[in-house]
Amino acid sequence: MSVTELRPNIDHWQDRVDLAACFRWTERLNMHEGVANHFSLAVNEDGTQFLMNANQMHFARITASNLLFLDANDPETMDKPGAPDPTAWGLHGSIHRLCPQARCVMHVHSIHATVLASLADSTLPPIDQNTATFYNRYVIDEEFGGLAFESEGARCAAMLTDPKKKVMIMGNHGVLVIGSDPADTLNRLYYFERAAETYIRALQTGKELRILSDDIAEKTAQELEDYPSQAEAHLREIKLILDGEGSTYAQ
């Protein structure tokens, strides 16, 4: 039996397994930040109850069972034993409280996305298929206000009102990606980092960029949005690889 088919007596078990696999794969791709950065997943209808990684735990050690279960509307969360990281609570708690469409939220300081976020102009021009994926589908936060405590988290959440824009390029900070579930969100995060890398490497050549037309960029982005089951297949294959290696993520 696959480890992902085991069902301990813990609520939201399959959600936990899927999210834990995302942490492990993000660490493998070196898109993590040690014991910083966080992923969260809403598990109730209005999105206010969510799973998130525990405070100061490395992505490589996260398992399905050690994910925190939190309520964005609980004002006593930070006073309880095992409270989450304060910045994670500020950012993810605010988003799950204010943006019900953000079922899954992934925030990292991955290298190329952060380089993009550090440029005076953080736009991502459509120069290939991956960069075109995000054409007119991201928002740039130009007002970095320090660590993402609750007021900063609420400010960021207010920028995620357009349902078409599921990536926030956090100026001077990193990237935040939202989606419908772990598969959808991880797939978007992965391809955004790939897109940012392509753009940064293209800039390093010093040569003129070949930029797609608005019409072709939008057509490509829509075609990729409509492409069947890619995100689900991506996470399925990740879990099969981890299972084959005897990973503990699903424990």
The string of DSSP letters for 129-151 reads HHHHHTTT-EEEE----SS--HH
* Bridge-based pairing state of the strands 167-170 and 68-71: unpaired
Question: Residues 147-195: pLDDT tens digits?
Answer: 656 778 899 999 999 999 999 999 999 999 999 999 999 999 999 999 9
> Which pLDDT score, from 0 to 100, does residue 144 have?
84
Give the whole-number percent of the chain exceeding pLDDT 90.
Answer: 91
Q: At 55, is the secondary structure helix, strand, or coil?
A: coil
Q: Contact, 230 vs 187, CB < 8 A?
A: yes
> Which pLDDT score, from 0 to 100, does residue 2 have?
52
Phi/psi class of residue 52: alpha, beta or left (left: φ > 0; alpha: ψ in -120 to 50)?
A: beta
Residues paired with 40 in a beta bridge? 52, 105
Q: Which residues contact 122 (CB under 8 A, 6 or more apart)?
A: 116, 140, 169, 171
Matching residue, tokens 């708690």: 93
State both tokens at 212.
């797609």
Residue 178, φ and ψ in degrees, nearest 5? -120, 160
> Which pLDDT score, from 0 to 100, does residue 23 have?
98
What are the Cα distances from residue 61, in Å, to 23, 25, 177, 203, 220?
9, 11, 22, 36, 37
pTM of the predicted structure, to 2 decimals:
0.94
Q: Which of 4-13, 89-98, 120-129 has the lowest mean pLDDT?
A: 4-13
> Which CATH number is associated with domain 3-244?
3.40.225.10
Task: Please compute the mean of the pLDDT values over residues 112-136 and round it to a whole number.
Answer: 98
Mean pLDDT of the chain: 94
Q: At 107, is the secondary structure helix, strand, or coil?
A: strand
d(CA 25, CA 31): 9
